[in-house]
Amino acid sequence: MEYVELNNGVKMPILGYGVFQITDQEECERCVLDAIEVGYRLIDTAQAYGNEEAVGKAIKKCGVPREELFITTKVWISNAGYEKAKKSIEESLKRLQLNYLDLLLIHQPFNDYYGTYRAMEELYKEGKIRAIGVSNFYPDRLIDLIKFNEVVPAVNQVETHPFNQQVKAQEVMKKYGVQIQAWAPFAEGRNNMFSNETLKSVGDKYNKSNAQVALRYLIQRGVAVIPKTVRKERMIQNIDVFDFELTKEDMDLIATLDKGESLFFSHYDPQTVEYLTSLVR
């Protein structure tokens, strides 16, 4: 496994396992156990996913020392604000059966996320969180948060895949020392990613799949990734991306796939904001 060093010196696996949309508790527990067994050490969950408890059970059962694992969760919109966020973070720790978190993110830039961040900064200074950051923060809101808070976010988790490569956003993050992390590195299969001819032509040279090429491309750009699958054989395939290296020609070719826009939603779209802010689970 390769690691990236965050802006506070904490080392984070560049490739982890995400549990978004694995709502069945038994299946989620099984998936996390499988992921850890095949070599994953970063597990990414969130309050909104409804599976922190299952992740916690798997962590307890896995047999891997806690200090070798890197556990991430996220504060949801409905828990925004200093008091509510602080309470919800303690509840997340209980569900996960953990004494500390390796990374805690604000899930969406809505509601009183400034109050949320103050609570996170406090718990960070107390040692209950090793690193704090954000998710889905576009450059404008990320800069605003950085300018008016003491602790610079260590990570910004955003939609990043071959069709939305976040090149300009990554430049802003680099400027401020924020590590970019990709959610949906496979674009959830949209744009026929798993049969894309460009990715296939590159993968054929290395006997690698489209998924492996996509992950390798992001990793070589310094993008941390958290692919999700419920199939153990796919988990093994997704982590098997450290034994080959794409050439500059390969990288330039894949760069041409970038459309520079989301395949899911835009926070600049009023309807999207109305929808996301109505989700209060």
Determine contact, residues 135/108, Cβ cutoff 8 Å.
yes
**Any catalytic annotation for residue 275?**
no
CB atoms within 10 A of CB 247: 10
Over residues 201-225, the pLDDT tens digits come to: 999 999 999 999 999 999 999 999 9
Q: Which of 17, 40, 49, 217 is catalytic?
A: 49
Number of domains in the chain: 1
**169: domain range?**
3-277
Residue 194 pLDDT class (50, 70, 90 cuts): very high
Q: Which residues are annotated as a binding site for substrate?
A: 107
pTM of this prediction exceeds 0.85: yes
Q: Which residues lie below 8 Å from residue 224, measured CB to CB, with a gap of 6+?
A: 4, 12, 13, 14, 15, 16, 155, 179, 180, 181, 182
CATH code, domain carrying 163: 3.20.20.100
pLDDT surpasses 60 at 281: no
Q: Which residues are annotated as a binding site?
A: 107
